[in-house]
Amino acid sequence: MRVAPFLRQHGGLILIIACWLIPGLLGRTPWKPDEAYTVGLVHHIATTGDWIVPTLAGEPFMEKPPIFFLLAALMGWAFGGLLPFHDAARLASALFIGLSMAALACATHDKTRPGTGRLAVLGLVSSLGLLVHAHQLITDLALMAGIACGLTGLSLIWRQPRWAGIWFGTGMGIAFMSKGLLGPGLLGVTAAALPILHAPARSRLYLQAMRQAFYAALPWLLIWPIALWLRHPELFAVWAWDNNIGRFLGLNTLGPKPEPGGYFAILPWFALPLWPIALWTVWTRRKQLRQDSQLLVPTLYFVLALAVLSLASDARALYALPLLPPLVMLITPLYGQERQPQRLSFALIPWLLFGLVWVLLVLGWIGLQTGMPALKGPRWLAMRPGFVAQFELWRPMLALLGAVALGWLARRHWRQGLSGFITSWCSGLAAVWLCFMLLWLPWLEWGSGFGPLVKQIRAAMPADTRCTTSWHLGEPQRAMFDYYGQFRLHRLEIDGGTNCDAILVQGHDLPMAITLQRQAWQEIWHGARPGDEKKEPYRLFRRRTSTP
């Protein structure tokens, strides 16, 4: 393949993806909540080689299967010499994003309309809800990739039957190894319901594809659960029941509780601009819905998945990522079907909106650099006390260069109907994200990273400290102390007492071990991350008299 023709054909798409994905993926420390504890799990695999029992700060963490942690550990091992370990591990997120893009491009590819695959990739990039999560070290990206592969398999059964079963089975396996039973359950229910609504699915071809999918999924579904059950049957029960069935049904206190309105309140902004276009596709082609598998498969999955997720006892905006692939698939049928060329003013709307955001980001950054009160904006800009801005010329220059290049790219596609609108939206979104990560990353990192805090506590701890007990430290915090401080905190909540000569307390409440023997303990350090003094303070206590 010649490089020059490839770049002429796909250079614009590569530019958008690079400006959208790379900034924020590299060059920063792990942030809580999700990234912080994930780094702890990945670091355990990288240092011990044990991928069967996910372990967080020395304790089994059976919330999720290990495929994402394992791949991230491999990335950390392969590129840890060139990048910090957490940056190298975060490359796993980019790989799963790439897998999602490749699967959706294959699912929507149409020889009569070359460009539908490109539109699908841009459709995934366009989602506002994916923007932040695409740069995080989170297992939900692997789940989304598994769902995308599974839907690709269902949509290809009547076009490429040889590969359809492999796509579907592999997608179910990746989804299972990412977050457990939810992903394969959603895909399985969709595959079971499809023959009821779609006559071609009631055929031998469909059964052959499902059989092939079964064989493709079997290794994913068996290897790790069997290995876990053989080593620790009790941990297998914790994973299978507590963190899958019990968590979904609300039989335990694991997971966040649903917000009022649930996903119906989340999706209007999370899936923008996909859902209006997808809704218009379904409405205008409702008469062909049951005959066209390209429409029926994503529509059926979306309806079933939304219903199942809405019934779950815990909910977060992050959990809506599996709803994005079907919406992406539903925007591509409109490609090239516009009745008339798109107006220039309609395609300009995204750039006008994102251009305004870009200007506000630049003005706020100038306010931080110069100290001008009029440009510092809302009070939330002062949430990083002690932050001192340092001028680095390359940051604004690169932000301006990226905005100009992306604006020129959008201008080339302004009159290309739906593709032009999505290209304009994605290029504007990428320009804003590039500007935000270049100019504001030092400010974000000042109050979000754990490295400086751990170093302060480590320096305040006496050299003769035998061991340290923790009180009310969450999973992200324990993982970060283990990752940065290279010392293990023994949880007071587990053993009920302390034989250690130091206690690290998170929050305002003191443990009973201190309140009952206040004279026996001395506070030797207190502090917090910048801006977290009231919300998340830390105090370090040392026993006044050493324990024999």
Distance CA(342)–CA(352), nearest Å, equals 17
Per residue in 313-327, pLDDT tens? 777 889 999 999 999
How many CB atoms are closer than 10 A to CB 524?
13
Q: Is the pLDDT of residue 81 over 90?
A: no
Q: Which of 294, 327, 300, 279 is nearest to 186 (CA)?
A: 300
The DSSP string of 293-357 is HHHHHHHHHHHHHHHHHHHSS---GGGGGGGHHHHHHHHGGGTT--SSPPPHHHHHHHHHHHHHH
For residue 297, the Cα-to-chain-centroid distance in whole angstroms is 24
pLDDT tens-digit map of 495-533: 665 678 888 999 888 887 777 677 888 899 999 888 888
Contact 488, 469 (CB under 8 A): no
SS3 content of the chain, % helix, strand, coil (to 5): 65, 5, 30
pTM: 0.93
Q: What is the mean pLDDT of residues 287-312?
A: 91
HSE-up (13 A, CA, CB side) for residue 5: 2
More confident residue, 375 or 123: 123
Check if the beta carbon of residue 29 is closer than 8 Å to that of residue 39: no
Question: Residue 294: pLDDT above 50?
Answer: yes
Whether 154 and 194 have beta carbons less than 8 Å apart is answered as yes
Burial zone of 30 (CB within 10 Å; 0-12 exposed, 13-18 middle, 19+ buried): buried
Residue 83 main-chain phi, psi, to 5 deg: -130, 160
Q: Mean pLDDT, to the nearest integer, of 246-265?
A: 66
Q: Return the amino acid letter for 252.
A: N
Cβ density class 410-439: b for 16+ within 10 Å, e for less: bbebbebbbbbbbbbbbbbbbbbbbbbbbb
Q: Is the pLDDT of residue 62 over 80?
A: yes
Count CB-CB contacts under 10 A for residue 233. 10
Q: Are 127 and 326 in contact (CB under 8 A)?
A: no
Q: What is the DSSP string of 5-22?
A: HHHHHHHHHHHHHHHHHS
User: In the structure encoding, which two tokens stand for residue 177, read together?
Assistant: 């190894």
Q: DSSP letter for 453, please.
A: H
Q: Is 445 exposed, middle or buried (0-12, 13-18, 19+ CB in 10 A)?
A: middle
For residue 296 the two structure tokens come to 């029926």
